[in-house]
Amino acid sequence: MLIINATGRLGNDPEAFTSKTGTLPSARFNLAVNTGYQETTWLKCAVFGSSSSKVLDNLKKGMKVTICGTGKQNFYQKKDGSESSNIDVNVLRFDINFPPKEQPSNVTPFTKQKSFDNNDIY
């Protein structure tokens, strides 16, 4: 079993789709994950069940999220005849990474300090 933990940004708004059984609410989205210097790996993510409504209601293109799920690499042939692959992730858990809130500081700022030179009397 391939367990995937990844943090990245949504490449599109999540969209609802019907599961193969036709009874389970589902959502899918693409996640861009930086995997090296100027290198991005795209994950095709799917969420099933009650979590799918949370995805559809809260996630938007460009948001930073962390996902955890099971993965599978699929190989296919492109329209131009070349071979390619993608990684499908069945998302079991996701967390939205909000930017940190600015915390008020409890440190008193320095008042303007007096500069001293050699002529000052101490």
pLDDT tens profile 74-94: 999 999 999 999 999 999 999
| Residue 50 within any structural domain of the chain | yes
Q: How many domains does one find in the chain?
A: 1
| Residue 91 within any structural domain of the chain | no
| Residue 45 within any structural domain of the chain | yes
| Spatial contact of 47 and 34, defined as CB atoms under 8 Å apart | no
Q: In percent, how much of the chain has pLDDT > 90?
A: 68
Q: The dihedral of CA 33, 36, 40, 44: what is its sign?
A: negative
| Spatial contact of 71 and 89, defined as CB atoms under 8 Å apart | yes
Say which CATH number the domain at 36 has.
2.40.50.140
| Residue 89 within any structural domain of the chain | no
pLDDT tens profile 58-74: 999 999 999 999 999 99
| Residue 58 within any structural domain of the chain | yes
| Residue 51 within any structural domain of the chain | yes
Alpha-carbon distance of 63 to 11, in angstroms, equals: 9
| pTM score, whole prediction | 0.76
| Domain housing 10 | 2-83
| Residue 121 within any structural domain of the chain | no
**Predicted pLDDT of residue 20:** 80
Per the model's pLDDT, the better-predicted residue between 117 and 57 turns out to be: 57
Take residue 48 and report the two structure tokens written for it: 């099933």
**Predicted pLDDT of residue 108:** 62
| Residue 92 within any structural domain of the chain | no
